[in-house]
A and B are shown apart, each in its own frame.
Chain A
């Protein structure tokens, strides 16, 4: 009978924000003997007692790392969602990287546990969606583009591994958009545009998860046994219009087609990230997930609601209420005084 506690943990994607935060949280746990971080590029921040190994998970050399260090827990965080890298490369990193990693996990006799960062984007976004997705729901329209499609394929390979190695504890976490002071994602870049374009006639429901809550979930999944697939999101819902009003951002509704043309021009001439088809669909139809399974399993609720995560993001970036609202307030109070 394997002990539940993780001894040697391997974290993929450690040079990026989420990987670095998770690695530093795990190394603070005295129960974990070694934390090994792997990535294709060296980390920008010091990792402490985490041992960094520069290895490309798309190559079989990852198997050597896992075998030689007798890794028993793999935390797979290197799902690339950014659009700054060419699409073909992203797909290779996400899908081929996961295949190699899982092949190595299947081989290793020391493997006990696998924690996979997936995305709520696997549910897609469509007008025929149920209002709230639970883990049991299948997407009405399976995502056909971008990292959402990658995440669907990654989950498929993880299920394959589960069938072949039924002794493994596998946790798949479907995160909604991360938000917080340190997060830089396509969505945060969208929110920080000087004038935020929205899709005319649509006002999607959005959910966010605070980075601290996301990391706490990943930590618990790593040090405790919670097999299964879980949605991870802060409580509550914000409408895009509501979020932009709270941010005090000027926004400009425009037809969906012009929005994607604008995104393409921005990518070509201004070095921006553009609007991926999956982001565009999210901006039209939105998506809400149900987190009751996670709450029941961990007996814990994310500390930040969607609203709180958004508020913290705003204050970290110095966004908030602008002038015209203050003017309205003063006008109102002046009227009452008379």
Chain B
């Protein structure tokens, strides 16, 4: 399953970059498949991760010594965090590698249309949300970090920040609360911001409704994009729907625990903790052409009708991309 990442003869039509995704056949030719190994090598240099050393085969002593030096430096608190609590070093060396294993070997994620994501400057990546547990956010973060060299700053639900441990880990990974002022502040700093406008409605929808986009919140992301002038990059994530197929929901228990839902999947809670292992579905993440809202101007953010129309347009675009990518992927698990 992992061999395909190392193949060098992937389809790379050099002239077909930037095609608008109209139908599945078109998309199959138009999108570019990024070879994971080459892109990864580029990203490793970016975050100063010691993977280069490993390939040269340094002595065991030296590796232990550098590990100790890292540990010392962490224990002394000699690192920087930004005002959102983002700790890039911890993120690149501890949090991302675990997610990267899932990304490469378990979900065998393929990226399409990565050239549509700006390599610098502010942008708002808007994606569909699914999977019962929000692993799609994690995988999108790995994709952006490893293949674009950018840290994706996700906007999360306030529930995350009320839960011990999850709240501060999420901040250390660079994410923050979904509120207009945080989104605008990140975009003003030129960051790449990710948002799942469906929220809990999307991530917790039953398996029967898979790949059907839910309502897009109140369109707050469009208002922010209009105010800051950041382009919206539509993104379709295919594969996350099958990782924990939610076949039922224990509402009373969810209410008792203060959760938005309590899922029943074929393996959870039947197999206990083993039920938390996601099913190894095949993932594809496709990015569409950036939508610039420059023609509207910032004052359009105060016109609800314009905001609704743009929100609907973005939603339809992503829905179409999801269907196209779903056709391209074929069977869910192999």
Mark A residues whose CB is within 8 Å of B: 127-132, 134, 137, 199-205, 236-239, 241-246, 285-286, 288, 321, 324-325, 328-329, 331-333, 335-336, 338
Contact = CB atoms under 8 A, between A and B. Distances in A.
A274 to B, nearest CB: 22
A332 B65 contact: yes
Interface residues of B, number: 38
B177 to A, nearest CB: 7
Given A129-B177, A132-B185, A329-B69, 10 more contacts: A130-B181, A201-B164, A203-B85, A203-B171, A205-B85, A239-B87, A242-B79, A245-B77, A325-B72, A328-B68
B270 interface: no
Q: Which of B77, B167, B179 has most A Cβ within 10 Å?
A: B77
Contact of B181 (A132, A202, A239, A243): A132
Contacts of B79: 242
A205 B81 contact: yes
B70 to A, nearest CB: 10
B259 interface: no
Given A131-B83, A246-B76, A202 B168 contact: yes
Contact of B62 (A131, A243, A321, A335): A335
B85 A328 contact: no
Given A132-B181, A239-B81, A242-B79, A127 B158 contact: yes
B82 interface: yes
Contacts of B161: 127-128, 285
A62 to B, nearest CB: 40
A333 B74 CA distance: 17
A136 to B, nearest CB: 9
A335 B68 CA distance: 10
B164 A127 contact: no
A205 B79 CA distance: 14
A132 B184 CA distance: 11
Interface in B39-75: 61-62, 64-66, 68-69, 71-72, 74-75
**Which 5 residue pairs are nearest across A and B when measured between Cβ atoms?**
A201-B164, A245-B77, A127-B161, A332-B68, A246-B77
B165 A335 contact: no
B281 interface: no
A242 B172 CA distance: 12
Interface of B: 61-62, 64-66, 68-69, 71-72, 74-85, 87, 158, 161-165, 167-168, 171-172, 176-177, 179, 181-182, 185
Nearest to A200: B164
30 contacts: A128-B177, A128-B179, A129-B177, A130-B182, A131-B85, A131-B185, A132-B181, A199-B164, A200-B164, A201-B164, A201-B165, A202-B167, A203-B171, A203-B172, A205-B83, A205-B85, A241-B77, A245-B76, A246-B76, A246-B78, A286-B85, A325-B76, A328-B68, A328-B72, A329-B68, A332-B64, A332-B66, A335-B64, A336-B61, A336-B65
B249 to A, nearest CB: 24
A199 B162 CA distance: 13
A128 B167 CA distance: 11
B72 A329 contact: yes
A314 B252 CA distance: 51
B182 A127 contact: no
B85 A239 contact: yes
B68 A288 contact: no
A127 B167 contact: yes
Contacts of A332: 64-66, 68-69, 72
Given A200-B164, A335-B61, A328 B75 contact: yes
A238 B61 CA distance: 33
Contacts of A245: 74-77
A332 B63 CA distance: 10
Contacts of A243: 77
Contacts of A286: 85
Contacts of A246: 76-78
A199 B164 CA distance: 9
Q: Which of A128, A200, A203, A236 has most B Cβ within 10 Å?
A: A203
Q: Which of B75, B162, B165 has most A Cβ within 10 Å?
A: B75
Contacts of A130: 177, 179, 181-182
Nearest to B78: A246
Contacts of A321: 76
Contacts of A285: 161
B168 to A, nearest CB: 4
A128 B171 CA distance: 13
